[in-house]
Amino acid sequence: MKDTELYAALLHLRHPWKVTEVKVDITGGRIDVWIEHAPDTKWLCPECRRSAPLYDHGAEREWRHLDTCDCKTFVHTRPPRVQCKEHGVRQIGPTWADPGSHYTLKFESHVIDTLKECDVMGATRLTGLLWDATWRIVEKAVERGQARKERRIPARLNIDEKSFARRQRYETLVCDQDRGTVEYVVDDRDQSSLEKYYQQFTLEERAEVKAVAMDMWDPYIAATKAFIPEAENKIVFDKFHIVRYVTDAVDKVRRAEAKQLATQGDSSLKGTRHLWLANKDNVPEWRKPEFDAIRKLNLKTGRAWAIKEALRKFWGYSYPARAWAFFKCWYYWATHSKLKPIAEAAKTIMRHLPNVLTYFKHRITNALAEGLNSKIQMVKEMACGFRNREHYRTAIYFHCGGLDLYPRLELGELW
């Protein structure tokens, strides 16, 4: 088999295209392939799709294609230009690459596959592309995916916030509970952040939303009440955020008590922070004896922790009336515990109780958004090369947006 025939087969070339020359540079690790069309090819004007005669050829261009046996492989041709009666001289764009791109669609797809498995720096090492060129492929993939994405508001939403770079800077994330995707990422976590998402939809579309899980965060509550009809029955203050809230109160109790004990030379609470932050089931096996021993010391921190642990049972009830009865007892315990941070946390939950109880109607939590959060955390860790927030958002859409990122090779196209 001649090299030109081999490459015509490898590239799946079909009439009118054929390979005219192949140059192999083994030392340079590079293969160049030239293709030409048959002289009698019939062309269509790219504007009006009417048949138009060949006019001439543009300057030679090259596109990077998939490597051949570790050799970077480039395809060259001079794109034909046609003369349309109506539109004048027009260039026939390649069907194997996006306009202006230096890569074939096959190569772009390969880079996207690579980027799904490693970070941008890793992809540059594996493909030999520069950082900017690789990033441009990420951006194009996200643009492509978003253009194809069906315009819809999910029936069950999760609203969450994620700190970016230094703390005190946040991004608001809108997630689809049922698809497990990030639908929208926007700067900050104020009312207008979330409203920017809701504003994309009509009132009728917004009325289709059935439930919205979120933290007890006033700006999100206000935005949802302003845009989602009957929001008061649809907002669910989510279990994980509420428990985290009480856990923070436990931590405040621990800090104050540790300080006070230290003045008496007692270091019982030293090095125990993570034990109190964990749920009972998550305490590591090797620290369990130590944790059991401290809990027997009858410390304020131990009482605070027990109150927090008890609250977790609330979401296990099947009937809202039973859950409500349980909460009343818990509330009494918390508010009479003489532990100020715990009493304050309990009062905050009580103020928001109607939308804590909506859980029993919708059974929705931010668990999924939290799962996505860990994926986003991974994106962040991979993202040392991200230079700004926009890159960070693009990467979230790329990895967590559930988008169709790949260029589409339609039937009848080359390669």
- The residues in 236-255 that bind Zn ion, with binding defined as CB under 5 A, are none
194 binds Zn ion (CB under 5 A): no
Please state the closest distance from residue 91 (CB atom) to Zn ion, in A: 12
> How many residues bind to Zn ion according to rule CB under 5 A?
6
Please state the closest distance from residue 84 (CB atom) to Zn ion, in A: 3
Taking CB under 5 A as the criterion, the residue among 45, 235, 258, 364 binding Zn ion is: 45
Q: Which of 376, 382, 390 is nearest to 117 (CA)?
A: 382
Fill in the per-residue mask, 336 to 365: x = in contact with Zn ion (CB under 5 A), - = not in contact: ------------------------------
Question: Tokens in use for 58?
Answer: 């543009």
Taking CB under 5 A as the criterion, the residue among 38, 48, 155, 378 binding Zn ion is: 48
- The residues in 63-92 that bind Zn ion, with binding defined as CB under 5 A, are 84, 86-87
Nearer to Zn ion, 21 or 47 (CB): 47
Q: Which of 355, 348, 176, 166 is nearest to 248 (CA)?
A: 348
Question: Residue 321: exposed, middle, or buried by beta-carbon count in 10 A (0-12, 13-18, 19+)?
Answer: exposed
Please state the closest distance from residue 43 (CB atom) to Zn ion, in A: 11
Distance CA 369, CA 180 (A): 7
Q: What is residue 166's three-state secondary structure? A: coil
Taking CB under 5 A as the criterion, the residue among 5, 25, 47, 404 binding Zn ion is: 47
- The residues in 85-124 that bind Zn ion, with binding defined as CB under 5 A, are 86-87
Question: Tokens in use for 204?
Answer: 């009728």
Instruction: Give the 3-state DSSP-derived string for 267-309, with helices as H, strands as E and coil as C.
Output: CCCCCCHHHHHCCHHHCCHHHHHHHHHHHCCCCHHHHHHHHHH
Q: What are φ and ψ of residue 143, in 5° steps?
A: -60, -45
Q: What is residue 268's three-state secondary structure? A: coil
Nearer to Zn ion, 90 or 254 (CB): 90
Nearer to Zn ion, 50 or 387 (CB): 50
Nearer to Zn ion, 70 or 86 (CB): 86
Nearer to Zn ion, 92 or 221 (CB): 92
In this structure, are residues 354 and 232 in contact, taking their beta carbons and an 8 Å threshold? yes
In this structure, are residues 334 and 350 in contact, taking their beta carbons and an 8 Å threshold? no
- Please state at what angle helix 367-382 crosses helix 389-400, rounded to 10 degrees: 120
Piece of 42-50, 172-180, 347-355, 366-374 that binds Zn ion (CB under 5 A): 42-50
Return residues touching Zn ion (CB under 5 A): 45, 47-48, 84, 86-87
